[in-house]
Structure 1
Amino acid sequence: MQLDAKLVDARITTLDEERPTATTMGIVHGRILGFDEDIADLPARTVIDAGGAAAVPGFFDAHCHTAWFGLTLAALDLTRLPGGLPEVYRRIEEHAAGLGPSEWVNATGYAHRDYDDQYPDIEILDRISGGRPLFIRQTSGHAAIVNTEALRRAGVLEPGFEDPDGGRIVRDAAGRPTGLVEETAQELIQQLIRPYAKDEMVAAIERATRHYAGEGITSFTDAGIAAGWIGHTPVELAAYQQAADSGRLHARAELMPSIDALHPVTAHADDGITSGLDLGLRTGLGDDMVRIGPVKVFMDGALSGETAALTSNYTGRDHAGYLQAPREELRRKVLEAAAADWSLALHAIGDLAIDEAISIIAEAQRRYGRRDRPHRIEHAAVVRPEQLALLAREGIAVTPQAAFFESIGDGMAACLGPDRVPWLYRGRSFLQAGVLLAGSSDRPCAEGNPLRGMQAYAERLTRSGAVLAADEALTAEEALRAYTIGSATAAGQQADKGTLTAGKLADFVLLSEAPMDVAPDEIAGLEVLGTARGGQLYG
């Protein structure tokens, strides 16, 4: 027998308790055949000499926005410009000057906390955009900044206009729009820009996943495609398929359709299916490169914009955020999806939204049973102590993002207050309670490098140097397991991914050192020497 590839002279950490370490690994048809003595005498067509490097399972980002990230790589980037708002204005004006008179000014990366909690002045934006409509997507994704021309085209300035459910056109004391558009109200503007062309989406997917290759990411979940304010085109799945078919998809994709993509269907009365996708498509369809994941549902917004739904007010404020739709409407839509055999991924950041998400998932499981792929709560950012046992009892997976500590940790702590900071983006208490923890970034809303995410889990440092809820810190190995085994299990793909085990996909990362072999503050600085998917080194 001849191997397709053999990895040699590697310090392999398998994360498989039955065989935790090895130095050689044999690969056939993209899967692991065995280790060390099992394959020592077998020749190989290709030998990958690791030169003593550390090898760990490929990283799996369980919640990111890959197509969106790819689009940002080609957009005007306003992230943390050193010149402050004057530089923001200058760059927008220069960019707009190079556009045609009817083209949109599109930008990304703006975070008000990077600019002393200030937003651009709409009057200045109107002047520097030269009459063109302007759309700036906030880093969080839960708000956007627009100019008057964009609002006019969206009908916001018409008499009798009312904010949509789950969203808001922010206005000043005189009732004039400030240019800030929150949550579902963004879709009023986005529907003027979308759908993006399929070829443009393929290019964005290629840009993003080439970037992933340099960071050791072999699998990811794109958390919201096809519809709603999070989607880009109703044929977004086709764009991923085209990218895969043409060799332009460089990591394995799991795709979460937005629940807004589901529509009424007429099935047999005995099926109990009233909502879904055509042909009965549901979670699980696909192959090793592209598959359909859970349906994505927004329960609430974000802490950065104080739109996440809390059980008590934000510190110093007279409001507690809000749900994206009335409770009963959310419940009905989610249970209809569960009846159509969809796994559920409920975006819930505030503890009130998490209450609602747990309740709905528990009801879905009572009615329809538990699925092989667990239902999930995306982010699970503000979790009260008593909610931990409920999450564990219902077998709900969570995808918190430690990467937010550096970028907005200080702001989150300020808006929650000291009593609630210990509940923020938990780590250790999830593991102690038996809750399935998946590693994720929410990129481009936060830093997406998995090694930096692991370091953030271990350190929990904010930009100011504060440590948020030190008791929630993970060890380096626990953080690595979250980004590998945890994510694979949350995606129902633990039979193929998460550990380096005979029979599983040969997806691995070569590193200068394993994360657990260095100090926590050195994890992010580890060098990715190569990324392999199916045993083929491509980064």
Structure 2
Amino acid sequence: MELDLLLTNARALTLDDSRPTAARIGVWQGRLVGFDEELDGLSARQTVDLDGAAVLPGFNDVHCHTTWFGLTLASVDVEALPGGMDAVYAALEQGARAAGEGEWVEATGFSQQDYDNAYPDIQVLDRITGGRPLFMRQVSGHAAIVNTKALEMAGMLEPGYTDPAGGKVVRDEHGRPTGLIEETAQQAVQDLIKPYSADTIVDCLDRATAQYAKEGITSIGEAGISGGWIGHSPIEVTAYMRALAQGRLRVRAQLMPSIYALHEVAANSADDFGLGLDLGVVTGFGDDDISIGPTKIFMDGAMSGETAAMHANYAGRDHPGYLQEDPEVLRRQTLDAYRSGWSVAVHAIGDLAVDEAVKNIGDAIDRYGRHAIPSRIEHAGMVSDAALAKLAHYGIAVTPQAAFADAIGDGMNRSLGDDRVRMLYRGKSFVDGGVMLAGSSDRPCADGNALRGIQAFVDRRTRSGGVFGVPEECISPLEAVRAYTCVAAEASGQLDSKGTLSAGKLADMVVLGADPTQVDPEAIRDIEVRATLRGGEFTHSAL
């Protein structure tokens, strides 16, 4: 037997208890076939001396928005610009000049926290965009800023216009739109831009996954495709397949269709099939490269914009946020999808939303049993002790984003106040409570660099130097690495094929300048990614 690849002189952290470390790693036909003495006497077509570099399983970001991230790389970037709001206006004006007559000006990365909690003046936006419609996404994705032209095109200035369920066109004291549109209200504007072409999405995937490879990411969960405001085209799966065939998809992708993409399927009544995609495709369909994951359901909004649904008002405010739909509608979505074979990934941030989501998923499991791929709470921003116990009992995974700490952690701390902040984006409580804590970034809503995400789990440092939530929720470097590797694979229902360096598993690896569990935790984010391998093939190399 001749190996395809032999890595030598490595310091591998396998995360496999049966063989925790290794110095030599053998790859054949895209899979790991053995380590150290198991490779004695075998030759290889390619041998790479790693000169003592650390090797870990490839990082897995189980909740990100890759098409959206790719779009942002080609949009006007207004994130934390030095120079304040004037710099935002200047960037948008330059973008408008570059756009053709009547073309949309698309921008991304805006956060009012970066600009003294101020929003752009719609009259200034109208002037600098020169009659072109503007769509500027807030960094959370749960709100956007538009100009008057976009409001007109979306029918939001028509007499008798009413806000959609779960969304709002924000108005001033005189009833005039300010340009801020929240949650589901975005869809009316987005529908004027979408659907994007498959070629455009392929270009986005190419740009985005090239960056992923440089950061050691080999697997992702695309958190919402096809339908609703989170989707980009009803044929996004086709775009992913095309990107893979063209060699422009550098990661393995688990795709989560939006619940709004599911519909009633006229199956035989004996099948008791409620909601699905055509051909009866449900969670688990696909292969190692592209597969269908849980369906994405939105319970509420974002804490950064104070639209996440809480039991009590935000600190210093007269409102507690809101659910995206009537609670019974959300419950029916969960139960109908689950009984049809779908696992569910429920976006729930506020404690009210989390409680409702856990209750609904628990009821579905009680009625229909557990699925092979776990259901999940996406973000799990505010989790009470009672909800924590239920998550563990039902085997529900959580995907809190430690990366939120830097950009918006200070704002979230203020929104909750001292009495509730201990429940904010918990970490150690999940690990100690036996809950699957999967690493994720929500990119482009936050920094998607996996090593920075690992450090954020460890130190929870905010931009002001404070702590996101409470320091008791910090986890160890090893626990953080596990979140982005083996626990991420388990939460995706794929631990049999990835997540550890074990014989028979996919040869997805990251080669690092240092082992994140052995360096000063303050230095984790600065570790060099020397190479990334997907199926034993280099997607990035700086060796």
Shift of 1:102: 0.9
In the TM superposition, 1:199-348 aligns within 5 A as 199-348=199-348
What corresponds to 2:85 in structure 1?
Answer: 85
Paired amino acid for 2:285: L
What corresponds to 1:488 in structure 2?
Answer: 489
What corresponds to 2:534 in structure 1?
Answer: 533
Tell me, what secondary structure is at the counterpart of 1:180?
A: strand
Tell me, what secondary structure is at the counterpart of 2:484?
A: helix
What corresponds to 2:523 in structure 1?
Answer: 522
Shift of 1:269: 1.0
Partners of 1:12 and 1:238 lie apart in 2 by 36
Q: Does 1:164 align with 2:175?
A: no
Partners of 2:274 and 2:406 lie apart in 1 by 44
The worse-fitting range, judged by mean Cα deviation, of 462-471 and 180-189 is 462-471
Tell me, what secondary structure is at the counterpart of 1:358?
A: helix
Deviations 1:341-387 (A, max 9, x none): 00100000011001110111011111211011111000001111221
Deviations 1:394-420 (A, max 9, x none): 110000000001101110000000111
Tell me, what secondary structure is at the counterpart of 1:413?
A: helix
What corresponds to 1:466 in structure 2?
Answer: 466
Partners of 1:470 and 1:223 lie apart in 2 by 29
Partners of 2:312 and 2:357 lie apart in 1 by 17
Partners of 2:452 and 2:188 lie apart in 1 by 35
Paired amino acid for 1:280: G
Partners of 1:289 and 1:268 lie apart in 2 by 31
Deviations 1:157-179 (A, max 9, x none): 11111100000000001100000
Paired amino acid for 1:536: E
Partners of 2:327 and 2:259 lie apart in 1 by 15
Partners of 1:302 and 1:225 lie apart in 2 by 19
Partners of 1:470 and 1:14 lie apart in 2 by 29
Partners of 1:106 and 1:35 lie apart in 2 by 50
TM-score (norm 1): 0.99
Paired amino acid for 2:475: L
What corresponds to 1:22 in structure 2?
Answer: 22
Deviations 1:66-105 (A, max 9, x none): 1100110111111111011101111111211122221011
Partners of 1:105 and 1:507 lie apart in 2 by 39
Paired amino acid for 1:476: P
Deviations 1:123-159 (A, max 9, x none): 1001111011110011100000000110011111111
Deviations 1:48-82 (A, max 9, x none): 22111000110000100011001101111111110
Partners of 2:447 and 2:539 lie apart in 1 by 22
Tell me, what secondary structure is at the counterpart of 1:329?
A: helix
What corresponds to 2:149 in structure 1?
Answer: 149
Partners of 1:384 and 1:48 lie apart in 2 by 49
Partners of 1:479 and 1:373 lie apart in 2 by 22
Paired amino acid for 2:434: G
Paired amino acid for 1:64: C
Q: Does 1:511 align with 2:512?
A: yes
TM-score (norm 2): 0.99
Partners of 1:97 and 1:60 lie apart in 2 by 39
Partners of 1:49 and 1:268 lie apart in 2 by 58
In the TM superposition, 1:7-156 aligns within 5 A as 7-156=7-156
Partners of 1:282 and 1:49 lie apart in 2 by 43
Paired amino acid for 2:512: L
Partners of 1:99 and 1:245 lie apart in 2 by 32
Shift of 1:274: 2.6
Shift of 1:331: 0.9
Q: Which runs of 4+ in 1 moved over 6 A?
A: none
What corresponds to 1:400 in structure 2?
Answer: 400
Paired amino acid for 2:332: R
Partners of 2:98 and 2:396 lie apart in 1 by 49
Shift of 1:430: 0.4
Shift of 1:40: 2.1
What corresponds to 2:413 in structure 1?
Answer: 413
Identical residues among aligned pairs (%): 58
Deviations 1:266-307 (A, max 9, x none): 111111113211010111111111111100001000000000
Partners of 2:259 and 2:154 lie apart in 1 by 23
Deviations 1:437-466 (A, max 9, x none): 100000000000010001011101111101
Structure 1: 5+ residue stretches without partners: none
Paired amino acid for 2:18: E
Paired amino acid for 1:390: K
Tell me, what secondary structure is at the counterpart of 1:517?
A: coil
Tell me, what secondary structure is at the counterpart of 1:515?
A: coil
Partners of 1:360 and 1:206 lie apart in 2 by 37
Tell me, what secondary structure is at the counterpart of 1:26?
A: strand
Tell me, what secondary structure is at the counterpart of 1:297?
A: strand
Partners of 1:249 and 1:93 lie apart in 2 by 33
Paired amino acid for 1:313: N
Partners of 1:31 and 1:94 lie apart in 2 by 49
Partners of 1:415 and 1:27 lie apart in 2 by 50
Paired amino acid for 1:7: L
Deviations 1:97-122 (A, max 9, x none): 12222101111111111111111000
Deviations 1:297-325 (A, max 9, x none): 01000000000001111001111000000
Partners of 1:4 and 1:102 lie apart in 2 by 53
Partners of 1:356 and 1:522 lie apart in 2 by 39
In the TM superposition, 1:178-189 aligns within 5 A as 178-189=178-189
Tell me, what secondary structure is at the counterpart of 1:213?
A: helix
Structure 2: 5+ residue stretches without partners: none
Aligned length: 539
Partners of 2:46 and 2:460 lie apart in 1 by 41
Paired amino acid for 2:47: V
Partners of 1:60 and 1:305 lie apart in 2 by 27
What corresponds to 1:385 in structure 2?
Answer: 385
Partners of 1:420 and 1:464 lie apart in 2 by 20
What corresponds to 2:424 in structure 1?
Answer: 424
Tell me, what secondary structure is at the counterpart of 1:46?
A: strand
Tell me, what secondary structure is at the counterpart of 1:441?
A: coil
Tell me, what secondary structure is at the counterpart of 1:205?
A: helix
Paired amino acid for 2:207: R
